[in-house]
Chain A
C-alpha cells in the first residue's frame, strides 16, 4: 500500500494500480485464511460461548475481519479512481491510512491472541 501511494505521488498510475492489486490480493488471502480457520474452529466446537478466551477471540478477530472487508471495498473504489484518473492524492492517502490502521491492529492482535494467550 505504501508503494501504491509512492507510485501515485510520482504520477506512475499504472504501477500504482499494480501495487494496489497486490495489496488487495493480500487482503483477500487474509480473508480466505480466516474463513478456513473459522470453519475449523466452529467444527471443533470452539464457538463464541465456549469460554472467555473464545468470546474475546471471536469478537476481536471478527471485528478485524469486518474492517478488512471495508478496507477492501475502499481499495476497490480507489482502484476504479486510479484507472479513471479521478482519484486525488487525498483519497489515496486516506485509504492508505485506513488500510495501515487495519495492519497495525493485526500486528498487536496476532501475537496477543495466537502466540501469547
Chain B
C-alpha cells in the first residue's frame, strides 16, 4: 500500500471513531449533529480527492462534487 493511501485510510478510521464518540457521548444538540455532518464531509472529501483521484480531474467535477456535498449537508442541517 502506498503512503498516501495508507495515511488516508488511517485518517478515515480516526474520523470514524471520533464521529462514533460524538454520537454516543453527547446529546441530540444541533451543534453535535452539525459536527457529525462536518466530520462525514471531511471523510467524503478524503475519499473523493485521494481515492478517486478527482484532484486530477477537470474543475467541473471538483465544483460539482463540492456543490453536492454543501447542498446535502445544508439540507440535512436545515431539516433537523
Contacts and interface: CB of A to CB of B under 8 A. Distances in A.
Nearest to A110: B40
Contacts, number: 47
A109 to B, nearest CB: 10
Interface of B: 1-2, 5, 8, 19-20, 23, 33, 36-37, 39-40, 43-44, 47-48, 50-52, 72, 76, 80
9 contacts: A2-B50, A3-B5, A6-B2, A103-B47, A107-B43, A115-B19, A115-B23, A115-B36, A116-B33
B37 A1 contact: no
Contact of B47 (A6, A100, A112, A115): A100
Q: Is the interface of A mostly helix, strand, loop or mixed?
A: helix
A110 B72 CA distance: 13
